[in-house]
Amino acid sequence: MSERRARSASDDRRGSGDPDGAGEAKGAQDPGGPRGTRAGRRSLWRRALTPPSAPPPRQTPPREAPAAPEPAEVVSVVQSALYRDGVRVSTPASLAETFRELREQPDGMAWIGLARPTAAELHSLAAEFDLHPLAVEDAMEAHQRPKLERYGETLFVVLSAARYLDAAEEVDFGELHVFVGPDFVITVRHGAAPDLSAVRRRMEGSPELLRLGPEAVLYAILDSVVDGYVPVVSGVQNDIDEIETEVFRGDPAVSRRIYELSREMVEFQRATRPLVGMLHSLMAGFAKYRTDEELQRYLRDVADHVTHTSERVDGFRQALTDILTVNATLVTQQQNAEMRALAEAGFEQNEEIKKISSWAAILFAPTLVGTIYGMNFRHMPELHWVLGYPFAIVLMAVVCTSLYIVFKRRDWL
């Protein structure tokens, strides 16, 4: 802190009008200057973090028509504030002003909130607060696993926040990176969750808690992320209840819903399980880092809530697995019943075909005899026989009776 305050005069030019760090580089070359000590200590990080200089822009010929106005640049700094003794003393409009005022404020703390920041902004923060290049690289990229790492006096925390969307009936996950140092807290948010403005208002409403420093802010952020899991757990429980009803009602679309919710629970487990170990690691360092007793109680309460949430999520995943098994069993039973019904219908259809075929064969015999004797050829045998007609009738009856007996014995009739 003393070194930061001692070089405030020579850094005014960088904080207000030297965003590229030219003044800082000059101080680094002069070991005897007011910033020589810290500049030498930061030289390694500066070489790793300073991006290559961009080539000068090409001269383009003037156009006859005026160019369309470019869209305004999106500012990723959500809010930046300085605190002293638990009270906000300043709200700088830019990162450069935040750096300058933090050096001028004795025993102050900076709380900087960013949302999807640019690489230049993160490099500026890294150069000012000695952030480790590996941590900065992780903060630039989302999709990091929740973790807790310490780089010297700076603590780097990755959290996975969640919120339940009632309209879509799904869980939306966000990612939060937190840098905690001796006199600063930097939050880098990727996603809509969590709402850190509520955390800031809550802490500003409790100056006695905010007075405890950056660790208190970290624990408040942890508590906010964990509290955000509560409505998600309630929403998932309602979804599981609805799924159980749909399963026993035979809804064909329930399998897809079970699969999608199972995927969300896998992501939820990835967010909550590492958090349990992270909080226990923080609690293990209470004595080493002389954490305030109030913060110790605060963190233990957060750890209890995380453990409870993690157990609920594990139960949800097991319940979804059981429901999927029951649904598969019910679907199989339904398919078996449908196959049995089709088999029975096919059997009945075969019986009807047998009957129709039997009667068709029986009726075909007299038709055949009558057709032969009705051809009216001149030289046909028995054509002028006196007993020809009775013989034909008896022949038809004998053939029909014989076929009927045969089909009857084979249960076709």
Least confident range from 88-97, 249-258, 365-374: namely 365-374
pLDDT the model gives residue 308: 93
How far apart are the two ends of the chain, measured CA to CA in Å? Answer: 106
Output the six-digit token pair for 118: 């640019």
pLDDT the model gives residue 263: 92
Write the single-letter amino acid at 181.
G
- Report the side by side order of strands in the sheet with 109-115: 87-90, 77-84, 109-115, 184-190, 170-180, 154-165, 147-151
7-25 b/e (C-beta count within 10 Å ≥ 16 → b): bbebbbebbeebeebebbe
pLDDT the model gives residue 9: 38
Is 80 exceeded by the pLDDT of residue 373? no
Mean pLDDT (the chain) is 80
The one-character DSSP state at 413 is: -
Q: How far apart are CA 408 and CA 115, in angstroms?
A: 87
Instruction: Tell me the average pLDDT across 354-363.
Output: 89
| 51 vs 370: which has the higher pLDDT | 370
pLDDT the model gives residue 11: 43
pLDDT the model gives residue 378: 74
The one-character DSSP state at 33 is: S
Read off φ and ψ for residue 10, nearest 5 degrees: -75, -15
pLDDT the model gives residue 196: 87
Is 90 exceeded by the pLDDT of residue 315? yes
Q: How far apart are CA 107 and CA 225, in angstroms?
A: 28
pTM for the model stands at: 0.66
* pLDDT tens digits, one per residue of 339-357: 999 998 988 888 889 889 8
SS3 category, 353:
helix
Q: Please enumerate in sequence order all residues whose Cβ is within 8 A of that of 150, keeping only pairs 6 or more positions apart, or say none.
A: 156
* Contact call for residues 171 and 228 (beta carbons, < 8 A): no
* Bridge pairing between strands 154-165 and 87-90: unpaired
Instruction: Tell me the average pLDDT across 297-308.
Output: 91
* pLDDT tens digits, one per residue of 165-183: 988 888 999 899 999 999 9
pLDDT the model gives residue 408: 87
pLDDT the model gives residue 27: 36
Q: How far apart are CA 170 and CA 265, in angstroms?
A: 10
* pLDDT tens digits, one per residue of 108-136: 999 999 988 888 889 999 999 999 999 99
pLDDT the model gives residue 222: 93
Least confident range from 97-101, 113-117, 377-381, 409-413: namely 377-381
Helices 95-104 & 119-129, crossing angle to 10 degrees? Answer: 10
Place of tokens 């993690």: 310
